A and B are shown apart, each in its own frame.
Chain A
Amino acid sequence: MSELVLDRLRKEYGSFVAVDDVSLHVREGELVALLGPSGCGKTTTLRMIAGFIEPTAGRITIGGRDVTWDPPYRRDTGMVFQSYALFPHMTVAQNVAFGLEMRKVPRAEAETRVRRALDLVRLGHLADRLPRQLSGGQQQRVALARALVVNPGVFLLDEPLSNLDAKLRLEVRVEIRELQKRLGLTTVFVTHDQEEALTLADRLVVLDHGVVQQVGTPEELYEAPANLFVAGFIGRSNVLRGRVVERGRFVTEAGLALAVPTDGFEPGAAALALRPERITVIPGAAGNGVSGRVALVTYLGAATEYRVTLDGGESLTASMATPRPGDPLKRVGAGDVVTLTWPAETCRLLAPDRGAPTDEGGS
C-alpha cells in the first residue's frame, strides 16, 4: 500500500473548471471519501488519479512516484467502476485473473491468488460462471476481487454501491469497510451519498463546483462545518441569516436576538447553523427560549420532527426522541404554542456568502 498525494490538481474543459486546484494527502491505509453533489468534480478527480483523464495542471504521486503523465496501465491503482465493468465474455475466475496475467504472474501462483481473492469476497463457488449469470451484488464482489487481487497501491471506488438495492447496499458497504481495514488499503471512494461517506470514511473531502469545501473526519465535518454548503450537505441544518451585533450576540433578519459564540466574527452579516437534534421542544410558553407555533409534526419512528414557525416568522426544525405516552410533548400538534431551547455553544456561525446546497447543475 502506498500513500497518495494530489497537489493542486486541476481540470478545465474550455472555460469550465471541473476540478479547481484540489490538494489532498491520503495516508497509507486510509479511506478517504470524495463527497459532493453531481457535477462537483469528484468523479473527474478519481478518473485523473486512475489516469483516464489528463489533468490541466497539478501533480499526482502514488507512493512517492510522480504518475501525473503515466497512462492508466502503468499506474498502480485498482479501480471498481459504478457499472462494475466486468468482462462479459470471460468467466468470474478469468475476470479476476486478468490483472495477474497482465503482470505476468506465473500460472500456479495466479491460480492460488485468484482462488484466495474469490474466497475473500465469498464467491469461490461461482468461479466458472459468466458475469451475466450473477446477481448485481455478486457482480460487485467480482469487481472488488478483480481490483484487489493485484495488490494495488491505491484502491479506487467510483460510486460502487449506487446500482444496488438498499438492503444490499448496506451489506456491501460493511463488506468493503472490513476488507479495506483488514488489508490496510489506501482507498479513495467517490459518492454523492453523505450517509455512505460518513459511515465508511476515515476522512471526507466535500467538493462543490470543483472546489474543496472542507476536509476532515466525519465528526469534524458534522460538528464544525466550515461553511453553509457543508453544514447543509453533511446532515441537516437550520440556517438563520442575520448579523452579529456585538460579542456573543446575533440578531436574525426577523429581529430575533440570540446568544451565540461569536469567536472569530466581527460585527456584520453572518449566518447561523443549528442542527435539528440539538433543539429541545418544550410544550407551552416557557420563560427561557424562543417561542413559536408548531406548523407540522412528522413521526419518524425513533424520532419525531417538529417544524416550528417562530414569532418573527422564521422557521426552525427540531428533532426529538419520540415522546412516550404520558409525556406532555406527545399531545403537541400543529397550531400549538411551544418553546424551543438549545445550548448556545451548539450554534455555529458561518460566513453568509455561500448558500446552502442547491440542486442546480447537471451531472
Chain B
Amino acid sequence: MAPAGRAARLKRRAGRWVLRAIAALVFFFIFIPVIFVVWISLFQQQIVSFPPEGYTLRWYENAFARTEFRDGFGLSLQVAFLAMLIGVTSGAAAAYAIVRFRFPGREALNTLLLGPLVVPGIVAGTSLYVYYIMVENILDMDFRATLHGLVLGHILLTIPWTVRLVSASLIGLDRAVEEAAMNLGAGPWTTFRRITLPMMRPGLVAASLFSFIQSFENLELTLLLVGPGRTTLPVAMLNYLEFRIDPTIAAVATVQIVLIGALMLITDRFVKLSRIV
C-alpha cells in the first residue's frame, strides 16, 4: 500500500512538472518575438547583429522625430477609434437581432458577419480598392486615401469580433431578469437601457478593445487604401523598412506594444477579460 501510494504520488508530481515545463515553453515561444523587439530597439549599432555593441535610446528619438511615424500614429489612433465606435455600435445591434429574433436568413447573416475573419486581408484590401474606384466614379467623391475610406474599411475588421463577443454575452443573459424588470413596470426601452445594456457591458467592453486593436495594427487591408500624407502607422513602418533596417522600427513597435498592453490592462481592471474571451 505505502510504496504503491508513494509511486503514484511521485508520478503525479512528475506529471505536474512536465505540464508546467510545457506551459513555460509555450509562453516563451509566444513572447520571444516581443522580447526581441524590445531588446533590439535599444541596440546601439545601426545594423542589427548579436551581441549588441551597447545600448541607446536614440532610435526612440528618431522614431518620435520622424513625421511619418508621428502622423501615422495619429491617423491610426483616429481610424481605430472611429472604426471601433461605429463597428461596435452596429455590430452589437446585429448581435442583438441575431440572438433575440428569429427571422429568415438569420444563420446566413451570422456567417456573413463573421466573413471578414475568413477573407485574407490583402484580398479584402484589393477588393475594397477596386470597389472604391467604382464608387468614386459613380458618386464623384474620394474614398481612396481618405479618412472615411479607411474607417469604412476598418469597420469590416471590427464587425466579426463584436458580433462574436456581444452574442456570447447575450446568450448567457437570463431572460427572466428582463421579465422581472417588465413585471415591475419597466417598458421595453427602459428595460433595455437599465437592465439589458448594463448586463451586456462586459461583452461590449471586450468587443471595443479587440476592435480597436484589430484596426490599430492592421496592415494588409490598409495597404492599398492609404495615400501620400495619409498613412497609418503599420504602413508607415513597412515603407520605412523598404529603405532602412535600423532599430527605429523596433522602437516604434515597442511603443505600439506598450500602448496595446496598457489598453488591455486598463480594460481588465473594469471587466475581467479572462472571463469573456
Interface residues of A (CB under 8 A from B): 50-52, 71-73, 77-79, 81-83, 85-89, 98-99, 102-103, 143, 146-147, 150
On whether the beta carbons of A102 and B185 are closer than 8 Å, the reply is yes
Given contacts A52-B179, A73-B183, A102-B185, are A83 and B174 in contact (CB under 8 A)? yes
The 8 A CB mask of B169-206 against A (1 = contact, 0 = none) is 00000101101111111110010001100110100000
How many angstroms from the CA of A103 to the CA of B194 in the assembled complex?
A: 15
Summed over the interface, the residue pairs from A and B with CB atoms below 8 Å come to a total of 63
On whether the beta carbons of B190 and A81 are closer than 8 Å, the reply is no
On whether the beta carbons of A81 and B179 are closer than 8 Å, the reply is yes
On whether the beta carbons of A85 and B179 are closer than 8 Å, the reply is yes
The 5 A-B residue pairs with the shortest CB-CB distance, nearest first, are A102-B185, A99-B184, A85-B176, A85-B180, A72-B182
How many angstroms from the CA of A344 to the CA of B185 in the assembled complex?
A: 56
On whether the beta carbons of A73 and B186 are closer than 8 Å, the reply is yes
How many angstroms from the CA of A81 to the CA of B183 in the assembled complex?
A: 11
Q: List 15 A-B contacts (CB under 8 A).
A: A52-B179, A73-B185, A73-B186, A78-B184, A79-B183, A81-B176, A82-B176, A86-B177, A86-B180, A87-B181, A88-B199, A89-B201, A99-B185, A103-B185, A150-B185
Among A71, A82, A83, A98, contact of B181 (Cβ-Cβ < 8 Å): A98
> In chain B, what residue has the closest Cβ to A99?
B184
Given contacts A73-B187, A102-B190, are A85 and B182 in contact (CB under 8 A)? no
On whether the beta carbons of B177 and A73 are closer than 8 Å, the reply is no
Looking at B176, B180, B187, B195, which has the most chain A CB atoms within 10 Å of its CB? B180
The 8 A CB mask of B17-45 against A (1 = contact, 0 = none) is 00000000000000000000000000000
Q: B184 to chain A: closest CB distance in Å?
A: 4
On whether the beta carbons of B179 and A87 are closer than 8 Å, the reply is no
> In chain B, what residue has the closest Cβ to A97?
B184
User: Which residues of chain A are near B194, meaning CB under 8 Å?
Assistant: 98
User: Which residues of chain B are near A89, meaning CB under 8 Å?
Assistant: 198-199, 201
On whether the beta carbons of A73 and B182 are closer than 8 Å, the reply is yes
Among B174, B179, B183, B198, contact of A78 (Cβ-Cβ < 8 Å): B183
Given contacts A73-B187, A102-B190, are A87 and B182 in contact (CB under 8 A)? no
On whether the beta carbons of B174 and A146 are closer than 8 Å, the reply is no
Among B179, B184, B198, contact of A98 (Cβ-Cβ < 8 Å): B184
How many angstroms from the CA of A102 to the CA of B183 in the assembled complex?
A: 10
User: Which residues of chain B are near A50, meaning CB under 8 Å?
Assistant: 179, 183
User: Which residues of chain A are near B176, meaning CB under 8 Å?
Assistant: 81-83, 85
On whether the beta carbons of A87 and B195 are closer than 8 Å, the reply is yes
How many angstroms from the CA of A5 to the CA of B199 in the assembled complex?
A: 36
How many angstroms from the CA of A81 to the CA of B177 in the assembled complex?
A: 9
How many angstroms from the CA of A143 to the CA of B176 in the assembled complex?
A: 12
User: Which residues of chain B are near A79, meaning CB under 8 Å?
Assistant: 179-180, 183
